[in-house]
């Protein structure tokens, strides 16, 4: 089963928290109100949810890659 990878650049995060709202199993906020990634991989069933969360980030801090290393978001 294809595995997708999430890359997160915390230095870009502005704490908007839309990622947390859309994918709470993957994102949470730390004590400073910045996003923390709870997992860095997911499978096909989560693709819709994860791409929505990544696209929702106003700071473009979240990227998603497929198992070939191709950037999706
Ligand atoms: S949506 Fe982007 S800016 Fe907002 S908390 Fe998540 S990673 Fe940070």
Joined together, the tokens standing for residue 67 give 């198992």
Q: Kindly write down the DSSP assignment for every residue of the chain, as one continuous string.
A: --EEEEEE-GGG-----HHHHH-TTTEEE-TTS-EEES-SEEEGGGHHHHHHHHHH-TT--EEEE-TTS-B--
Position 70 in a domain:
no
Residue 72 belongs to some domain of the structure? no
Give the count of domains, the chain: 1
Distance CA 31, CA 55 (A): 24
pLDDT tens digits for the chain (73 residues)? 789 999 999 999 999 999 999 999 999 999 999 999 999 999 999 999 999 999 999 999 999 999 999 999 9
Residue 35 lies in a domain: yes
Atom of ligand 1 nearest to the CA of 53: 1
22 within a domain of the structure (yes/no): yes
Pocket test for ligand 1, best of 49, 50, 62, 64 (most atoms within 8 A of CB): 62
**Would you say residue 73 lies in a domain?**
no
**14 touches ligand 1 (CB under 6 Å):** yes
Q: What is the CATH number of the domain that holds 29?
A: 3.30.70.20
Q: Is 23 in the pocket of ligand 1 (CB under 6 A)?
A: no
Q: Which domain holds residue 43?
A: 3-65
């Amino acid at each position: 089963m294809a595995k997708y990878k999430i890359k997160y650049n915390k230095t870009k995060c502005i704490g908007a928290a839309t990622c947390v709202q859309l994918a709470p199993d993957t994102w949470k906020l730390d004590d400073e109100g910045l996003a923390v990634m709870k997992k860095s991989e997911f499978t096909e069933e989560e693709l819709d949810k994860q791409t929505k969360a990544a696209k929702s980030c106003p700071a473009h801090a979240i990227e998603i890659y497929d198992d070939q290393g191709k950037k999706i978001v």
